[in-house]
Amino acid sequence: MAYIGKTPITGNFVKLDAISVVNGQAGYTMNNGGSAFTDYENVNQFLVSLNGILQAPTTSFTVSGSTLTFASNLATGDVIDFVIVLGNTLDIGTPSDNTVSLAKLTATGTKDATTFLRGDNTFAAAGGVDTIFNLSKNGDQASISDNTLTKITGWTANVDTGSGWDNSNNKFVIPSGKAGKYLIGATITQTQSGGGNSSADTYDIMIFKDGAVAFTNHDKNRPALDFCTNHITAILDLDAADYLEIYVKVTAGGGTTTVLEHSGYQTSNVCTNWFGCKLA
């Protein structure tokens, strides 16, 4: 914005605490809110009124640290009307801790502690998520018996913002303070050898919560189980310390199944991974 004349100075202007005159004393401590005041650059920022008359900086008074010193001792009956400090150039001031209210940060909507845009909740407050994990299968898991419930193991954590991944037990544990609704999904690619490969073949992916089935994708009537990819997605209500696991069950009239790792097979559809994110 253009101005006629000198551009206005932006500053944190402060009126200091009242100062009582002591007979025969020239130096006085400057306080702001009961604390010693030193937040200035030079004496020319000060407006000092003594007995109704503005005093000239440097000649009528000086400042050093938190001390204001008049050129001569004051006497009984003298009155220091006010001391105002003009803020440092281009300094709008730094608010003290716990002085910025929710009303100053949000104009509408419900105001509570979660509306503050702190580093630890900015993403969530902006409508994103604050707990995310993404795992990929590390190495093939072979010899999965037909018609047998089998836990998928050997995951590698690519992302784990809440540090909930329990690598030794191949399960994700909901972090403390992160209860809520979660979007959970998994993609499993597998091959099957032996068996009948009939229209009665089925392939189940299951999300387990606290050791029991929470959600199942039942893919039935697949005549060809050789090299196929299946998916499961669910939204679950989860509490802190709840834990999640991924299981599969293949029914193919005998034979064995291998769940393939998330890596470089010759086909582009090898994608064995598992993810989750907190929605609310």
Over the stretch 162-193, which tens digit does the pLDDT of each residue have? 899 999 999 999 999 999 999 999 998 888 77
Which structural domain, as residue segments, surrounds residue 135? 122-278
Per-residue confidence at 1, pLDDT binned at 50, 70, 90?
low
Entry pTM? 0.53
Q: Are residues 143 and 256 in the same domain?
A: yes
Q: Are residues 203 and 77 in the same domain?
A: no
Please check whether residue 6 lies inside any domain of the structure: no
- Residue-wise DSSP of 34-83: TEE----S-GGGEEEEETTEEPPBTTTEEEETTEEEEEEEE-TT--EEEE
Residue 244 DSSP one-character state: E
Q: What is the largest CA-CA distance in the chain?
A: 110
- Mean pLDDT computed over 225-245: 88
Please check whether residue 103 lies inside any domain of the structure: no
Dist. CA 205–CA 233, nearest whole Å: 10
Q: Are residues 169 and 264 in the same domain?
A: yes
Q: Are residues 76 and 159 in the same domain?
A: no
Q: Are residues 245 and 147 in the same domain?
A: yes
Q: What does the pLDDT look like over 45-102, one tens digit per residue?
A: 999 999 999 999 999 999 999 999 999 999 999 999 999 998 765 555 566 677 776 6
Please check whether residue 91 lies inside any domain of the structure: no
- Lowest mean pLDDT: which of 60-64, 67-71, 204-208, 254-258? 254-258
Please check whether residue 100 lies inside any domain of the structure: no
Q: Are residues 74 and 172 in the same domain?
A: no
Q: Are residues 20 and 154 in the same domain?
A: no
CATH of the domain at 271: 2.60.120.40
**What values do phi and psi take at 34, rounded to 5?**
90, -5
Please check whether residue 135 lies inside any domain of the structure: yes
Q: Is the pLDDT of residue 124 over 70?
A: no
Please check whether residue 113 lies inside any domain of the structure: no
Please check whether residue 133 lies inside any domain of the structure: yes
Q: Which of 35, 57, 85 is the last residue of a domain?
A: 85
